[in-house]
Structure 1
């Protein structure tokens, strides 16, 4: 019993040190500001439902005012065979025309994805060449409509997913032949690749608990070499304090930009929602953490980088005001309208 008591006390002491160290680290005010290149995930209703001219104008003003350069308009999801029924995006053409008219320079991308089949569970089987071929035909249809790019969000994606890499390579050929963009949303990368064999041994794939679908460094580099943009879904931390959640965003920002920031445009995903289960995570914490991560870089990346706001349907005026105040370059904020 005595040894049990000492063990518990030791563990609690270590936890207290971690919390205290994170709190001290978190007190330093970030110096870095954001950039003029930022993304936004947007709801399906923009392509699936009619909107008035005033609503399109309001959307365009919001994009310009907040320096959003890329919008991932949800146009899917894919059906199991790789199609998307046309009635689901019947108003896409009107949206594209409105963005071009009222927000020239903003790139409207078709946001497409689905639950990836893994060990028999899921919806879309990317290992099937016929399904991948249909996905490409669907992509081409969206490009024909006028979208500026294809944005993939297949989940889960594991770092040994050769079929996904094949699809990325094929899609890159398509988008580049049209002069368009290929972007992709990925889970945050593993910070320590050496522990992944432990996950594979202790938590094998299949069932409710399995190896986390985190890209390792080699996989992230391979994807970055194929994509024009990589958006990292850094949110959903489920950490109990702002300091720990902020450290999470800072660490992933620095690691990702160091790893692929010279290869492709990177957007670090930040949330504008705050479910109770995610404890301390919110937009303020996320942006402060991203800025701390940028501060820690030895040099800025060669390619553009920014944040990806998730999502337009959870972002109200207060969140946008905070985003402008703490993220946008000061010259952009001072020059912005109301």
Structure 2
């Protein structure tokens, strides 16, 4: 019992040291400012429901004011056979016309995905060549409608998923032949590539969003060679203090930009919602953490980079105001502040 008490005290001491060290690190004000290459995940209603001209004008103003360059408009999800029923995006043409009129230069991308079948659990079987072929045909439908790119969000995707990479290669050929973009949302990188076998062996696979897998360095480099943009879903941190959550965003920003920032445009996902159980993750913490990560870079990436705001349906005026004041470059002309 005495040894148990000593072990517990030792463990608590280590935890206290980690928390104290993180708190001290967190006090330093970031020097880096944000960028004007930023993305936004947008709700399905923009393509699935009618909107007034005033609503489209307001959307355009929001995108311009906040220097959003790319919007991932939810247009799916895919059905199991790789199709998307036309009734789900019946107002897509009106949306695209409105974005071009009220937010010229902003790229509207078709946000498509589904729960990938892994070990028998999920909804879409990417291992099936016929399904992948139909996914490509569906992509063509959205490009024909006028979308500026295809944004994939299949989950879960493991680094050894050859079928997903086959689909990525085929989609890249399609989008580049049309002069369009291919972007993809991926989970945050694993802390150590060597831990990937433990994720696969010990944790459940398939059926749920935002669980491991975590991309390895090799996988991220391979994806970055095919995609024009990679959005890292850095949110859903579940850490109890602002300092720890901020460290999470800083670390992933630095490591991701160092790894693939010369190959592709990177968006670090930041949340505008409060997670369950009172965890410390929120937009101010995320933006501050991303800026600290930029501070740690030895040099800026060669390709554009920024943040991806998740999501338009959880972002209110206060969050947008903080985003402008804490993230956008001070030289950016943001109407109204």
| TM-score, normalised with respect to structure 2 | 0.97
Q: Compute the RMSD of aligned alpha carbons.
A: 1.4
Q: Is residue 2:335 matched to residue 1:337?
A: yes
Structure 1 segments unaligned to the other structure (5+ residues): none
Residue 24 of structure 2 corresponds to: 24
Q: Deviations over 1:241-264 (max 9, x none)?
A: 000000000000000000000000
Residue 198 of structure 1 corresponds to: 198
CA distance in 1, matches of 2:58, 2:234: 28
C-alpha contact 2:156 2:211 (8 A) present in aligned 1 = no
Per the alignment, in what secondary structure is the counterpart of residue 294 of structure 1? helix
**CA distance change for structure 1 residues 240 and 119 in 2, over 3 Å: closer, same or farther?**
same
Q: Which runs of structure 2 are paired with 1:1-338 in the superposition (5 Å)?
A: 1-203=1-203, 205=205, 212-277=212-277, 279-332=279-332, 335-338=333-336
CA distance in 2, matches of 1:168, 1:282: 32
Per the alignment, in what secondary structure is the counterpart of residue 331 of structure 1? coil
CA distance in 2, matches of 1:59, 1:201: 45
CA distance in 1, matches of 2:211, 2:143: 35
**CA distance change for structure 1 residues 119 and 107 in 2, over 3 Å: closer, same or farther?**
same
C-alpha contact 1:253 1:290 (8 A) present in aligned 2 = yes
Per the alignment, in what secondary structure is the counterpart of residue 331 of structure 2? helix
Per the alignment, in what secondary structure is the counterpart of residue 267 of structure 1? strand
CA distance in 2, matches of 1:190, 1:310: 21
CA distance in 2, matches of 1:44, 1:198: 36
Q: Deviations over 1:200-238 (max 9, x none)?
A: 444474799x98211100001000000000000000000
C-alpha contact 1:236 1:278 (8 A) present in aligned 2 = no
- Number of residue equivalences: 335
| Stretch moving more, 273-282 or 237-246 | 273-282
| TM-score, normalised with respect to structure 1 | 0.97
| Stretch moving more, 273-282 or 56-65 | 273-282
Q: Deviations over 1:122-143 (max 9, x none)?
A: 0000000000000000000000
Per the alignment, in what secondary structure is the counterpart of residue 169 of structure 1? helix
CA distance in 1, matches of 2:126, 2:202: 26
